[in-house]
């Protein structure tokens, strides 16, 4: 009898625990879920900073998904929803940082590096070419080159 | 000579950038809310749940808003600092019990002491979202006009309190 009670209570507890870990029910409306999904991959979870809102299981990410879902149901545009989040959490909430004065280096930096690298490469190559051309041959060396080349040409 | 100078120069530049990167704290994000009116709230109180704590009631004085929870480790870390500040009576600290259970929050305050004149309960975390909270504890300095003047992310330390928050509070109180 005791064992029986024990088993039942384990079942009840585990059932309860499983319910707690289950993902929140996918909304009744698949269109809302699709929009939420599209938005959530563009937004950063602020707790686990290298995950999107879509990936994260942090409680804050769940709350923010709930918030975004409600705004979608209220028929707010993507821009309005993103503005809502940016006004609270700043640009960091966006996975794609906007082009601003403070982020210019971020956006332009890679191109500057490529241009700098390419310029350095061209300069080095030109310098090397100049060095090669600068070596002049004496009369004797010319004759020796001609001789060696003709010898090579006579061989089968 | 030149051959070594250029790679060395590049190395030093990279080193400086990495050094700056290492000393930055990626958890501390600038809040867009500093300088903006504090989002208003009207929430049930922790000790008497029939009563409401509203941000409108706090207009006209300088106050701190401290988001905390009984499950939050950093909150215990900063707790002695809050208690000390509350005893000094320099500025009231209003508590926001963030996504917590009422009984646990009450037990936590009974055990460690209560630095707050009043505590509001943000069970769903909605007010937290309005304030851009992403990691408790977080503390806001709010001026007489209800504008956020400073945001502390993470535990409040005595040195931050002495060098940043209290000078700011005194300045705001004299305005």
Rounded CA separation B173/A116 (Å): 53
In whole numbers, what is the pLDDT of chain B averaged over residues? 91
| Cα→Cα distances A132→A66, A125, B2, B82, B116, Å | 69, 11, 20, 75, 81
Give the helix ranges, DSSP H, for chain B.
Answer: 2-23, 73-88, 102-112, 126-130, 158-160, 166-173
pLDDT in tens, B131-168: 999 888 999 999 999 999 999 988 999 999 999 999 99
| Structural domain boundaries, residue A106 | 102-154
Kindly state whether residue B29 falls inside one of the protein's structural domains: no
- Say whether pLDDT at B80 is over 90: yes
Quick one: A86 and A106 in the same domain? Answer: no
Assess contact for B140 and B114: CB atoms under 8 A.
no
Sort strands B148-153 and B119-122 into parallel, antiparallel or unpaired.
Answer: unpaired
Among B residues 109-128, those touching chain A with beta carbons less than 8 Å apart:
124-126, 128
Domain annotation covers residue B84:
yes
With CA atoms as reference, report the closest residue to A84 among B141, B39, B68, B135. B39
Q: Which domain CATH number covers A18?
A: 1.10.8.640
Reported as a pLDDT band with limits 50, 70 and 90, residue A28 is low
The C-alpha of B89 sits at a distance from chain A's nearest C-alpha, in angstroms, of: 30
The answer to whether residues A118 and A78 belong to one domain is no
Does A94 share its domain with A111? Answer: no
Query: By the 8 A CB rule, do B82 and B158 touch?
Result: no
Place of tokens 């504090």: B38
Task: Indicate whether B2 belongs to any domain.
Answer: no
The two structure tokens encoding residue A107:
């956006």
Q: Return the closest-CA partner of residue B165 out of B94, B89, B90.
A: B90
Domain end, chosen from A81, A98, A115, is at A98
Which residue, A53, A73, A98, sits at the end of a domain? A98
CB contact under 8 A, B125 and A59: yes
Domain identity same for A81 and A108: no
Res A19: pLDDT: 44
Going by pLDDT thresholds of 50, 70 and 90, the confidence category of residue A125 is: very high
Domain count, chain A: 2
Residue A109 has pLDDT above 50, yes or no: yes
- State whether A63 and B132 contact (CB < 8 Å): no
pLDDT of the residue at A154: 72
Which pLDDT score, from 0 to 100, does residue A18 have? Answer: 44
Domain for residue B67, yes or no? yes
Residues B41 and B54: beta-carbon distance below 8 Å:
yes
A39 with A116, same domain: the answer is no
Confirm if A56 and A43 have CB atoms less than 8 A apart: no
Tell whether A58 and A106 lie within a shared domain.
no
Which tens digits make up the pLDDT trace of B40-77? 999 999 999 899 999 999 989 999 999 999 999 899 99
> Distance between the two ends of chain A, CA-based, in angstroms?
105
Name the DSSP letter for residue B49.
Answer: T
Tell me how close the Cα of A148 comes to any Cα of chain B, in angstroms: 37
Q: Does residue B147 fall inside a structural domain?
A: yes
Stretch among A70-79, B27-36, B107-116 having the lowest mean pLDDT: B27-36
Decide if B24 is inside a domain. Answer: no
- A87 and A38 in one domain? yes
How close is the nearest chain A Cα to the Cα of B134, in Å? 6
Tell me, what's the pLDDT at B146? 92
Find chain B residues with C-beta within 8 A of A90's C-beta. 29-32, 132
Q: Residue B43 sits in a domain of what CATH number?
A: 3.40.30.10
| Least confident among A92-106, A113-127, B67-81, B126-140 | A92-106
- The count of structural domains within chain B is 1
Inter-chain touch A47–B32, beta carbons under 8 Å: no
B130 and A60 within 8 Å at the Cβ level: the answer is no
Give the one of A67, A87, A89 whose C-beta lies nearest to B134's C-beta.
A89
Q: Kindly state whether residues A57 and A120 are assigned to the same domain.
A: no
Percent of chain A having pLDDT more than 90? 14
- Six-digit token pair at A120? 């350095």
* A94 and A68 share one domain: yes
B32/A87 Cβ within 8 A: yes
**Residue range of the domain that includes B82:** 34-173
Q: What residue in B sits closest to A50 (Cα-Cα)? A: B26
Residue A84 shares a structural domain with residue A107: no
A82 and A121 inside one domain: no
Q: Mean of the pLDDT values across residues A140-154?
A: 85
3-class secondary structure, A91: helix
User: Does position B112 have pLDDT exceeding 80, yes or no?
Assistant: yes
pLDDT for B1? 63
> Is the CB of residue B152 less than 8 Å away from at least one CB of chain A?
no
* Average of per-residue pLDDT values in chain A: 80
């Amino acid at each position: 009898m005791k064992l029986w009670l024990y088993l039942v209570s384990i079942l009840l507890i585990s059932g309860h625990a499983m319910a707690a870990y289950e993902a929140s029910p996918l909304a009744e409306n698949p269109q809302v879920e699709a929009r939420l999904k599209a938005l959530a991959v563009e937004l950063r979870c602020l707790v686990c900073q290298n995950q999107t809102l879509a990936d994260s299981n942090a409680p804050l990410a769940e709350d923010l998904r709930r918030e975004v879902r409600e705004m979608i149901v209220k028929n707010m545009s993507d821009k309005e929803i993103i503005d809502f989040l940016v006004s609270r959490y700043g640009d960091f909430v966006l996975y794609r940082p906007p082009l601003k004065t403070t982020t210019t280096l971020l956006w332009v930096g890679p191109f500057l590096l490529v241009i700098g690298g390419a310029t350095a490469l061209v300069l080095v190559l030109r310098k090397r070419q100049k060095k090669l051309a600068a070596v002049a041959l004496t009369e004797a060396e010319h004759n020796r080159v001609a001789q060696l080349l003709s010898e090579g040409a006579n061989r089968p | 000579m030149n051959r070594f100078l250029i790679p060395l120069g590049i190395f030093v530049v990279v080193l400086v950038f990495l050094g700056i990167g290492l000393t930055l704290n990626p958890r501390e994000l600038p809040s867009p809310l500093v300088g903006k009116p504090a989002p208003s709230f009207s929430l049930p109180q922790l000790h008497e749940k029939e009563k409401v704590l509203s941000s409108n009631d706090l207009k006209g004085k300088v106050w701190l808003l401290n988001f905390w929870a009984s499950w939050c480790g950093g909150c215990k870390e900063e707790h002695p600092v809050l208690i000390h500040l509350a005893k000094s009576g320099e500025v009231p600290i209003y508590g926001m019990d963030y996504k917590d259970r009422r009984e646990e929050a009450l037990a936590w305050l009974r055990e460690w002491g209560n630095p707050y004149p009043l505590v509001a309960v943000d069970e769903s975390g909605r007010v937290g979202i309005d304030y851009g909270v992403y990691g408790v504890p977080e503390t806001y300095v709010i001026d007489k006009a209800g504008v956020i003047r400073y945001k502390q992310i993470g535990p409040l330390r005595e040195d931050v309190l002495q060098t940043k928050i209290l000078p700011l509070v005194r300045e705001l109180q004299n305005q």
